[in-house]
Chain A
Amino acid sequence: MGLVEFAAAKTLASSAVFLFITVLLMAAAKRTSTCIMLFGVQCAVITAQILAAAFVYHSREAYVVAAMVFVVKVLAIPYALLGIRKRLNVPGGVSASTTPAQSVYIAAGLILLAFLVVQPYVRALALDGEMLAAATAVLLTGAFLMVSRKKALMQVIGLLVLENGIFLAALTTTFGMPLVIEMGIFFDLLICVLLLGVFVFRIRDTFEHVDVSKLRRLRG
């Protein structure tokens, strides 16, 4: 039993580091498939963190949330996104407007910014500063991925990463939302991915590419 407690404590202490690394690697990734995998890894880290929190704080609801995160975000969404990517049949690059190195510098800057902006809240609410900073950094990087990547599929991934950040922030500040709302959010997310997938297909069928920077004219 001691080993499980030890593992839980270590997971809680080090998950922020893994989140930082996934965020930086996502900024460096050059292919949409790598980004989707990294999203899955990021969600796996979050799952581990929720499991550890559930164990430490003896919360039965958190186990259910962890199971849902695992099924929806680690398995279903990456699987669906990979399927969409395969059927879209467009080149696999993310067509970023910054080079990978620049993106990593920007993501690193966003992490530092996250550390700076959460300081007042950490002091006022006595929270885990690193975790809240990680949540904010994930949120900011998701937004950055959305604005700097031209592939329509990357906008979806950026939105999902952004949602991960909000979810983590909620988790660190309030121990998560009530279970019913949590379930609603997961359902929303799944529908959102399906709808956005359909939308990406429509973009491709109408314009014969998925580059959002070229969507300037209306077409019937």
Chain B
Amino acid sequence: MTFAIDFLQVLILVGTAPLLRGLVGRIKARIQNRRGASVWRPYADLRKLFSKEDLISATASPLFRLSPMILFAATVAAAAFVPTLHGFALLGTAGDFIVLVYLLALARFFLILGAMDGGSSFGGMGASREALVSTLAEAPLLLALVAVSIVAHSTSVAGIVRWSSGQPFFHLSPVHALAFVAFTLVAIAETGRVPIDNPITHLELTMIHEAMVLEYSGPSLALIEWANAIKLNLMLSLLVAVFMPWGIAPATSLHGLAIALAAYALKMVLLAVLLAVLESSVAKLRMYLVPDFLGVACALSILAVVFTALKR
């Protein structure tokens, strides 16, 4: 039973990822007074891409084909660390949050390699920008999770979630508040959302992620897009799981599980609405201001770690 739920959690994270993307796009369209595409559109896109031919540039090495697969595999493996319905995860005992962070880094590393392998100048440009953003985002992401894990006395994500779901509602400590703000800023940067990168832009001067995947087509592109959607779903689920896990099932009962599923869906929809509102109201930052944005996140997460020493 427990194993089945663990497995279900990964399936939900992987399976609903395109839906979340469609939902955010739909809400954004509504805010901009357009009707927008159906929320199921990303699934149709994926199906279309999977049935297409994979075109590879003449200069590309086998790495070009391999990178999307490694990217997808590493992202799905990272998704297996995140508990969403109950306080355990499929790979909950296999590693701690550091493994989770570096699985994402591995995925990103291969995406960058693939982008540079494609041979287009845009790929190299996007890759160098992505490398800059990820270098700057890594420290605050790790530090924010370190702060939370010190308070929770556990380094595994599932352990942190079990601890915080045992805390009373609205029991705010400065550590959690600061880590939450830092984590939110990093999650925006990591998933390439608006103040850092615009997921729908195709303007050469500004694109980061889109520039990297420009050379990809067919199933490879489908894998990359899906992995990217999973990453957004994963970061938001991690945010929900670590900072607001209330409603998560304490024991494996069908009743508790239904409540957990409803609570999780509600929180994710809420975050999707918040994300859409944020993306519609904030302008994209200039590339040179990205270090400032992540510097703020870094300062907040360092302060969160320092506060763990001040309190308790």
Contacts and interface: CB of A to CB of B under 8 A. Distances in A.
A17 B292 contact: no
Contact of B291 (A13, A101, A104, A112): A101
B175 to A, nearest CB: 9
B173 A101 contact: no
A13 B172 contact: yes
B170 A10 contact: yes
Nearest to B176: A17
A187 interface: no
A18 B178 CA distance: 10
A1 to B, nearest CB: 18
B303 A99 contact: no
Contacts of B303: 24, 108, 111-112
Interface in B128-183: 170, 172-174, 177-178, 181
A14 to B, nearest CB: 4
Given A99-B292, A101-B295, A115-B310, A14 B170 contact: yes
A102 B173 CA distance: 24
Contact of B172 (A14, A28, A102, A108): A14
B302 interface: yes
Interface size class of chain A, counting residues whose CB lies under 8 Å from the partner chain: 20 to 34
A83 B209 CA distance: 41
A17 B291 contact: no
A101 B298 contact: yes
Interface of B: 170, 172-174, 177-178, 181, 291-296, 298-300, 302-303, 306, 310
Given A17-B177, A21-B178, A104 B170 contact: no
Nearest to B172: A14
Interface string A55-78: 000000000000000000000000
Interface of A: 10, 13-14, 16-18, 20-21, 24, 28, 99-102, 104-105, 108, 111-112, 115, 130
Contacts of A104: 295-296, 299-300
A81 B178 CA distance: 28
A20 B174 contact: yes
B177 A20 contact: yes
Contacts, number: 54
A20 B292 contact: no
B229 to A, nearest CB: 30
A115 B311 CA distance: 11
Contacts of B306: 108, 112
A101 B182 CA distance: 12
A10 B303 CA distance: 23
A139 B206 CA distance: 40
23 contacts: A10-B172, A13-B172, A17-B172, A20-B174, A20-B177, A24-B178, A24-B181, A28-B296, A99-B295, A100-B293, A100-B295, A101-B292, A101-B295, A101-B296, A101-B299, A104-B295, A104-B296, A105-B295, A108-B299, A108-B300, A111-B303, A112-B303, A115-B310
A129 B26 CA distance: 47
Contacts of A130: 174
Interface centre among B173, B174, B177 (most CB of A within 10 A): B174
Contact of B300 (A13, A14, A24, A115): A24
Nearest to A105: B299
Given A17-B172, A101-B295, A108-B303, 7 more contacts: A10-B170, A16-B174, A21-B178, A24-B299, A104-B299, A108-B306, A112-B310
A104 B170 CA distance: 26
Contacts of A28: 296
A123 to B, nearest CB: 15
A21 B292 contact: no
Contacts of B170: 10, 14
A17 B173 contact: yes
Contacts of A105: 295, 299
A10 B310 CA distance: 20
Contacts of A102: 295
B170 to A, nearest CB: 5
A120 to B, nearest CB: 16
A28 B297 CA distance: 10
Residue among B173, B294, B295 with most chain A CB within 10 A? B295
Contact of B302 (A16, A20, A108): A108
Nearest to B175: A17
Nearest to B185: A28
A16 to B, nearest CB: 7
A112 B303 CA distance: 9
Question: What are the 8 tightest A-B residue pairs by CB atom distance, in nearest-first order?
Answer: A101-B295, A104-B299, A14-B172, A108-B303, A17-B177, A28-B296, A105-B299, A100-B292
